[in-house]
Structure 1
Amino acid sequence: HDIKLGRDGFFTYLRREGLLVKPKKSYTKTTFSKHWMKKHPNLLKEEGLHDAEHVLVTDASSRKIVGHHVSKDMKAESVVKALKMAIKDKRYIGNAVHHSDRGLQYCSAVYQNALQASQIQPSMTDGYDCYQNALAERVNGILKQEFLLHRCRTFAELKILVRESIAIYNDMRPHLSLNMATPNQVHNRKGQLLELA
């Protein structure tokens, strides 16, 4: 359509027309990192390459959500399901760094064993600093705010909406950081080193 409109101008237009989604103001901390289990060093402190949060596993190079699982709890067994979905793509086995916060579920033997079985190197934030886990925070924010996941009435409805939202995010939502390509377009390019987040 040859429309020349930047991000700020677009949001100014949406605000003027009353079309912005109002973000939730409450903040809930979901990570308990003061536990006794082994925590891994932050291998990406300088590079800021990978992040993973809750039920999502995101490829840091392509921004594609490669694994997800909707669960009513944050138990390690639930979170491992998202990881297992991601590592069905064999390109990650022995060729990836998994970056997360220091939550119990990521430090657990169940989760660490799943990483080790696929020869994926663990990396963790130095503490609770959302900027060290920025990609995960960004992707979670996009799904919650742009796709309105917090407005679901039932768990079954949430599962359907998450699956549909991830498909739209991966296949149809262009990213400025990807030169306006979609995550799937970048992910499917050959010869690219991809790392798990």
Structure 2
Amino acid sequence: MYPYLLRGLTIQYPNHVWGIDITYVRLKRSWLYLVALIDWCSRYVISWELDQTFEMDFVIEAVQRALSQGKPVILNSDQGSHFTSPKYINLLKQNEVNISMDGKGRALDNIITERLWRTIKYEEIYLKEYNSLREARQEIRNYFAFYNQKRLHQSLNYQTPEFVYYS
């Protein structure tokens, strides 16, 4: 396990700290798994992926896509199996990203990422009943575009994540 590096840290600029987490998305007859990486300074969703299996590949794809756009100083996660796997750890080490992990049972250590889940669930996922992976992927893609480009955040002085991230 890796230590929690964010206690007492003031996040000062985009790509200083990213968070990553996985949540569930309900289909009519099954579940999907959604992983997202979010910049903690700007709340910008850098990358995400949706899959029908809980295999490692969708997490690695999302991280690789994010790293192709930028590199955080620190990437924070929980201690889940995806984030403690050698494949994930090695990818971050190869890219010289400092690894931070929440304390056991301390979801509040990853509060910005958890807040993203609450937002997308109440503004998108819980309002719809997706019939397929394809439909869910399209609707979630549309939501994240709205979230990054148009949704104003009080914590960002009523600016969008995209504006703050690229400023």
Matched with 1:161 is: 139
Provide the C-alpha distance between the structure 2 equivalents of 1:137 and 1:67, rounded to a whole number of angstroms.
16
Are residues 104 and 161 of structure 1, via their aligned partners in 2, closer, same or farther at CA, if it must alter by over 3 Å? same
TM-score, normalised with respect to structure 2: 0.83
Secondary structure of the residue that 2:3 maps to in structure 1?
coil
How many aligned residue pairs are there?
148
2:165 aligned partner, one-letter code: H
1:99 aligned partner, one-letter code: N
Matched with 1:125 is: 102
**Alpha-carbon contact 1:58-1:136 (below 8 Å) kept:** yes
Superposition map of 1:127-146 within 5 A: 127-146=104-123
Provide the C-alpha distance between the structure 2 equivalents of 1:114 and 1:68, rounded to a whole number of angstroms.
17
Superposition map of 1:1-197 within 5 A: 39-47=1-9, 50-54=18-22, 55-90=35-70, 92=71, 95-148=72-125, 151-189=129-167
CA RMSD of aligned residues (A): 1.6
Report deviation, 1:45.
2.5
TM-score, normalised with respect to structure 1: 0.71
**Structure ranking higher in strand proportion:** 2
**Alpha-carbon contact 1:97-1:121 (below 8 Å) kept:** yes
Q: Deviations over 1:46-84 (max 9, x none)?
A: 338553211100011110000101012333222111111
Are residues 131 and 51 of structure 1, via their aligned partners in 2, closer, same or farther at CA, if it must alter by over 3 Å? same
* Unaligned segments of structure 1, at least 5 residues: 1-38, 190-197
2:51 aligned partner, one-letter code: S
Provide the C-alpha distance between the structure 2 equivalents of 1:74 and 1:128, rounded to a whole number of angstroms.
21
1:63 aligned partner, one-letter code: R
**Alpha-carbon contact 1:64-1:184 (below 8 Å) kept:** yes
**Alpha-carbon contact 1:77-1:111 (below 8 Å) kept:** no
Q: List 4+ stretches of structure 1 deviating above 6 A.
A: none
**Alpha-carbon contact 1:76-1:106 (below 8 Å) kept:** no
